[in-house]
Structure 1
Amino acid sequence: MTYLIYLAAALAEIAGCFAFWTWLRLDRSALWLVPGIAALCLFAWLLTRVEVEHAGRAFAAYGGIYILAAMGWMWLVEGVRPDRWDMLGVAVCVAGASIILWAPRAA
């Protein structure tokens, strides 16, 4: 469930940032900011739903999943297929996120 929450948070964050990108870089209407801000609020709320004791650890593990989602966004929304180096980087990052999340720790 943690990975699904992180994935939803990543998509919300990317969508929110993309709305700002669209407004500022693609010279579109400032109305893009309305769903963008809502998406960023959803991102922040979702990130608090994971069962990780420390915020820093939750944010660090999230980073790996964010990278996976960003590559997916690039492929599905922007039409640019990730290359083998992108995919290798994603695999390393998701492995790192998994280690951070699931490593045995003293209570």
Structure 2
Amino acid sequence: MTVVKSILVFILAGLCEIGGGYLVWQWMKEGKPLWYGLVGSIILAAYGVVATFQPAGFGRIYATYGGFFIVMALLWAWKVDGFRPDRYDIIGALIALVGVCIIYYAPRN
């Protein structure tokens, strides 16, 4: 699997987890209709399936996904909720992303 393809899978998984979680949050915390929670739950289940499209083992994939999730959660909060990340949010997210890319993409024997 190419690096670009695997990054796209991580991004798709992130969208499923964050988007699904957001819909459940809206239903539970913001009083949105039940269908928000149902659709959100289906999307969250899709996240579990999407993650299996990566070729590595479970532990390495989920560790790596964590860094992508951090970046994507901050971007989602910024664009959807109006949260404005500060420089420490950005620095921390970049450190996490670099770290997980080393974990996942470093050449191994």
- Structure 2 length-normalised TM: 0.90
Provide the aligned length of Structure 1 versus Structure 2.
105
CA distance in 2, matches of 1:8, 1:2: 10
CA distance in 1, matches of 2:7, 2:86: 23
CA distance in 1, matches of 2:54, 2:69: 14
Q: Does 1:82 align with 2:85?
A: yes
Q: 1:18 aligns with which of 22, 25, 37?
A: 22
Q: 2:101 aligns with which of 83, 92, 98?
A: 98
CA distance in 1, matches of 2:15, 2:96: 17
Deviations, residues 67-94 of structure 1 (Å, cap 9, x unaligned): 1110110011111121111100110011
- Structure 1 length-normalised TM: 0.92
Kindly, what percent of the aligned residue pairs are identical? 33
Instruction: Say whether the 8 Å CA contact 2:24–2:36 is kept in structure 1.
Output: yes
Instruction: Say whether the 8 Å CA contact 2:28–2:37 is kept in structure 1.
Output: no
- Note the residue ranges of structure 2 that are not aligned, 5 or more in a row: none
CA distance in 2, matches of 1:51, 1:94: 19
Q: CA RMSD in A?
A: 1.1
Q: Relative to total residues, which structure has the larger helix share, 1 or 2?
A: 2
